[in-house]
Structure 1
Amino acid sequence: MKHRGRHRRRRRGAALRAVLAGTALALTAAATMISASQATVAGNPGALKQLTSSSDTAPLRLQEQLVPARTLDRLASSMGRPVGVDAVLRSADHTLREGADCGARDRASLPVDPAPARAWCWDRADAADTAWRPASVTTSGDADDDGFWGPHRVVLSGWTHRAGTGPAAERGLAKVAFVDADDPARPVYRWVLLVVPVDGGRNYRGLVSRVSGMVWYQDKLLVTTESGGDESLYVYNLHRIQRTTVDSPAIGRVPGGWSADGYQYVMPAVGSYRPRTGHCASSGPVACPGALSLDRTTAPDSLVAGEWTAPGGERRARLWRYAFSKDPARSGLLATDAAGRADPVEVYRTRASGVRGVLSYRKAGAARSSWYVGRLPGSRAGHGGLWRQDTEAAKAARCGTDHSHHCWAQGPGSLSYWQETGEVWSVSDRMLFTVPLDTLDRSLE
């Protein structure tokens, strides 16, 4: 399925903006009771400091490693012809519920200020399974700037299984909810398990990693990974989704076919990006990306990353970006040199810690980009904060009787800007929601 160009479907995008621009839902009444339990005001992360020395930028250099085509072809030959996003959406078997139909606990996880324009809670069975939690989101608004993938508006949400809970076979796995968002009143979704080819494509294993950030750009999905400290990002191809043939708890080749812990679809990795110098770690110069987003206001488009650091800790996070390749033969991949090295094109230091979401956007006529940084509270419980930073200052909304900065979502996830509709998409630990960027900016002023 070929994605659409930037010059198409403008009228349809304008109509969608009109549909989505109604009065914001009254979703956060329960969340306004947080002030008494969150009297500590989050520290101001201050202005961004740009880092330009090689000692600061070299540790963020990545080495691209693509899976050989023969490996992917061998897997496809054995499993059957790959399918695309459309096939997954046609088989959607879960339904998201609009915010008004969600429970008080779900709604309490939403931002207090700014209030979401729309919000949805997950299928009841998925919401009740506390071993799996959402942490990241990206959309067809990232994949193509007209906001569509083929005929569909699509949202992808990355979930991770907490390693210490649930069946041993599932511990630490990662999966993606493919959400058909054509009808905002009734989005439906289907799960796809993320896997990694092994043994030259004769088998695959589950991706065991916390997927805290993801970006869908052109036909590729880039996700953050923590596989023994060797990878920073894995790359998936949206045209290479495979059907399984056996329903069992096993993952990979089994007697009679292929299994994926009961999931009907798997998506095998087609490449990865690894640090050139050492392993990424929570201490040391090589940063572990904890959040990702796409910035279409740079030339070329860029992948934005935020460093994972412990909430409330002393380590200050770095924010940086890589340029995407302009080579049509390398759709959705980072720009690299002849040796496959991807260098950061911009690096900043913030005093923020516990970064779970990062978004960079430069408005028309603005002198500089604004960086939106979503943070966990120091205790990892309760509502987080969202700050807008640049090289001059930082601002955040205040809410509650104590006027704290704990106004963002509970267990906040990554951020994704849907340019065609002007919405920022994100997830709490219980819900999927949107906030118009203009509304978000007003709350920060």
Structure 2
Amino acid sequence: MKHRGRHRRRRRGAALRAALAGTALALTATATLISASQASVADDPGALKPLTSSAETGRLRVREDLVPQRSLDRLAAAMGDPVGVGAVLQTTDRTLRRAADCTSDDRESLPVTPAAAHAYCWDRADTASAGWQPASVTTSGDADDDGLWGAHRVILAGWTHSTTSGPAAERGLARVAFVDAADPDRLAYRWVLLVVPVDGGRNYRGLVSGVTGMVWYQDKLLVTARTGSAEALYVYDLNRIQRTTADGAAIGRVPGGWSADGYRYVMPAVGSYRFLGGPCSATGSPCPGALSLDRGSVPDTLVAAESLPSGGGHHARLWRYPFSTDPARGGLLAADASGRVDAVDLYRTRASGIRGVLAYQPAGSSPAARPAWYIDHLPGFMGGHGGLWRQDGRGAKAARCGSDVTHHCWTEGGGALSYWQETGEVWALSDRALFSVPLASIDSSLG
């Protein structure tokens, strides 16, 4: 039933897309035009509202909790020496297809305006089931300002499994596609399962969390934690990827070795950040959704958007956490002596259903300059393309799809935005494809 609904939604999206291109829009359908216009106005997130009260900022304070070194060492001693990103890329076993080789449904999920510069769809083995869905993206352009990790150009895409369908052992799990992006004509990837050490490093369990946001900074990968607890983020170390030794549905230690539901590699968490105000809610601590990195801020900052249902009546919060400048704390947030991290640059937007966020402040600009914020959010109705808006304290702008009727020009089921500073590209996801758009093209398309 869900599968048939998806195709109906895409047929509606295809019809709207053709109509807005001027091929078949019945201009005499006044009621339809009024409805679309009202939806466009309702989608406008408006100007950003700064939030400065201690009550507001206090709800975003988190505490760092690092896994003890002895636990990580115990796990590594039992599983064998950890490996790095290069070892995973040397064993890629999936390929991404170029847009010309993708299905019409895959291509239909891409942005209408601005058009993707590069677009790829996933290996058919990974899209045959609706259980796994792509949700977040980050790149070696986030990890290092030269855009490389060692000699590699890499894209990481986070996927989450449904909690209500599919094999019971896989429900809610999170995995990351390590994509070798050295050759833009042939992107290959390998899966790594995210896990969490337990029992003092004597075992591990699968991370059960929606990885709606993910940022690779230095040697750390920060992902959103949505477990119903006060946890906000999990932290992973890209130098601590472990090989499994047994094949089977189990996750963790098994007789004769280590298993991970058939995955060859696991990456154990090395820490987490928890909201001091308790579990997230619309009026308390925010449920973290989209994440990205801003290299133009001083210091570099983790940019975050609140996860709220589209059209639910609540307005989302946007904020940042500064990264530590201490060389001994590479990739971790700027915590005080007690491990607390305070949010900075906090705003309220009238948007909800946010799937991607960027705060862009060009390198070398004045620290007093206000960055532009970009948000990718779902339409306030079922199905169809979402909108990509640029906001500041004065208002918001979005691309139009060749018409003044609607701003629903971005991806279908959109998720995640990641700016690759070295190339000027924004990498993003639809519900079926991985693609990039130059940031300059996004800016020039804004109406």
Post-superposition shift, 1:368?
Answer: 1.9
Structure-to-structure mapping, 1:66-215, within 5 angstroms: 66-215=66-215
What is the number of residues matched between the two proteins? 417
- Counterpart for residue 377 of structure 1: 379
Post-superposition shift, 1:375?
Answer: 0.1
Residue identity opposite 2:303 in structure 1: V
Q: Give distance in 2, aligned partners of 1:438 and 1:169.
A: 44
Is this contact kept in 2: 1:31–1:110, CA < 8 A? no
Q: Is 1:301 matched with 2:300? A: yes
Is this contact kept in 2: 1:355–1:373, CA < 8 A? yes
Is this contact kept in 2: 1:31–1:112, CA < 8 A? no
Identity fraction in percent: 67
SS for the counterpart of 2:303 is: strand
- Counterpart for residue 398 of structure 1: 400
SS for the counterpart of 1:77 is: helix
Q: Give distance in 1, aligned partners of 2:186 and 2:51.
A: 45
Residue identity opposite 1:117 in structure 2: A
- Counterpart for residue 335 of structure 1: 334
Post-superposition shift, 1:201?
Answer: 0.5
Cα 1:30–1:197 shift into 2, 3 Å: farther
Post-superposition shift, 1:99?
Answer: 0.7
Post-superposition shift, 1:29?
Answer: 8.4
Q: Deviations over 1:330-375 (max 9, x none)?
A: 0000001100000012100100011111000023658420000000
Is this contact kept in 1: 2:230–2:276, CA < 8 A? no
Q: Give distance in 2, aligned partners of 1:249 and 1:264.
A: 12
- Counterpart for residue 20 of structure 1: none
- Counterpart for residue 33 of structure 1: 18
Is this contact kept in 1: 2:277–2:284, CA < 8 A? no
Is this contact kept in 2: 1:297–1:362, CA < 8 A? yes
Gaps in structure 2 of 5+ consecutive residues: 1-12, 26-31
Q: Give distance in 2, aligned partners of 1:314 and 1:93.
A: 44
Is this contact kept in 1: 2:43–2:380, CA < 8 A? no
Is this contact kept in 2: 1:30–1:108, CA < 8 A? no
Q: Give distance in 1, aligned partners of 2:379 and 2:88.
A: 36
Q: Deviations over 1:195-226 (max 9, x none)?
A: 00000001000001110000000000000011
Q: Give distance in 2, aligned partners of 1:149 and 1:31.
A: 41
Q: Is 1:408 matched with 2:410? A: yes
Q: Deviations over 1:146-169 (max 9, x none)?
A: 000000000000000011111110
Is this contact kept in 2: 1:321–1:345, CA < 8 A? yes
Q: Deviations over 1:298-331 (max 9, x none)?
A: 1100000000011011100000001000000000
Post-superposition shift, 1:227?
Answer: 1.7
> 416, 425, 444: which one pairs with 1:423?
425
Q: Deviations over 1:118-158 (max 9, x none)?
A: 00000011122211010100000000010000000000000
Q: Deviations over 1:268-313 (max 9, x none)?
A: 00000000112112x2221011000000111100000000011011
Calculate the TM-score normalised by the size of structure 1. 0.91
Q: Give distance in 2, aligned partners of 1:287 and 1:317.
A: 8
- Counterpart for residue 231 of structure 2: 231
CA RMSD of aligned residues (A): 1.6
Q: Is 1:325 matched with 2:313? A: no
Cα 1:69–1:292 shift into 2, 3 Å: same
Q: Give distance in 2, aligned partners of 1:30 and 1:137.
A: 29
SS for the counterpart of 2:231 is: coil
SS for the counterpart of 1:60 is: coil
Post-superposition shift, 1:399?
Answer: 1.0
Residue identity opposite 2:103 in structure 1: G
Residue identity opposite 2:234 in structure 1: Y
SS for the counterpart of 2:59 is: helix
- Counterpart for residue 3 of structure 2: none
Q: Give distance in 2, aligned partners of 1:170 and 1:402.
A: 44
Q: Give distance in 2, aligned partners of 1:374 and 1:192.
A: 27
Calculate the TM-score normalised by the size of structure 2. 0.91
- Counterpart for residue 19 of structure 1: none
Post-superposition shift, 1:108?
Answer: 0.3
SS for the counterpart of 1:438 is: helix
Structure-to-structure mapping, 1:267-286, within 5 angstroms: 267-281=267-281, 283-286=282-285
Q: Deviations over 1:399-429 (max 9, x none)?
A: 1556301100011111100000000000000
